[in-house]
Amino acid sequence: MTDLNGRTIAFLVAAEGIEQVELTEPWAAVEKAGGTPRLLSLESGEVQAFNHLDRGDTFPVDAVVSDADPASYDGLVLPGGVANPDALRMDEDAVAFIKEFVESGRPVAAICHAPWTLAEADVLRGRRLTSWPSLQTDLRNAGAEWVDEEVVVDGNLVTSRKPDDLPAFNDAMLELFAG
């Protein structure tokens, strides 16, 4: 079993539209591996997750991304949902946080629609990744090689397509975070 030895992992989400299972399953995997997950968002308070189009649970925010220092975290998880990454990519602080994180070489895990934020951060040129299929043109236009695979690891970046890929995504994510 992968041991994260108390590493702190940031989960960056918007105020709503997060695909709940893409937040909760990686979160639980990080905790089970001995890591400390922290929820970052655009504002303090709570975020609203969804089970596809139906409201799910709410989750308390640990820190606001505009106040967060990427160097304080050992890994970054970007959950999907359609509205979540769409809102994140419109927020300058979120995009700057992601860009600094990726460029620092620390590990980043993005699932489903979350690679939209990576495209916005302009960190995909020459990278190989996957996502929800509807993003492939956007990601190719951002300079990435898009492939339709369950999980793709390219350096410090791990990506997956959808909730069905979560077991493979979580395994690859933990391995990357364990370094």
Q: Which amino acid is at 29?
A: A
pLDDT value of position 74: 98
Q: Is the pLDDT of residue 1 over 80?
A: no
pLDDT value of position 17: 96
**Which whole-number Å values give the CA distances from 152 to 87, 129, 147, 159, in the listed order?**
24, 6, 8, 5
Q: Is the pLDDT of residue 142 over 90?
A: yes
Read off the tokens for 61: 């925010």
Which among 110, 98, 101 is positioned nearest to 159, based on CA atoms?
110
Residues designated catalytic: 112-113
Which among 146, 128, 147 is positioned nearest to 138, based on CA atoms?
146
Give residue-wise pLDDT tens across range 53-110.
Answer: 999 999 999 999 999 999 999 999 999 999 999 999 999 999 999 999 999 999 999 9
Residue entry with tokens 């992992």:
9
pLDDT value of position 21: 98
Model confidence band, residue 163 (pLDDT cutoffs 50, 70, 90) = very high
Q: What is the percent of the chain with per-residue pLDDT over 90, rounded to a whole number?
A: 99
Give residue-wise pLDDT tens across range 11-44.
Answer: 999 999 999 999 999 999 999 999 999 999 999 9
d(CA 30, CA 24): 10
φ, ψ of residue 4 in degrees (nearest 5): -90, 0
Q: Is the pLDDT of residue 120 over 80?
A: yes
Model confidence band, residue 2 (pLDDT cutoffs 50, 70, 90) = confident
Average pLDDT on 136-142 reads 98
- Given 3.40.50.1000, 3.40.50.300, 3.40.50.880, 2.40.37.10, which CATH number is that of 8-178? 3.40.50.880
pLDDT value of position 59: 98
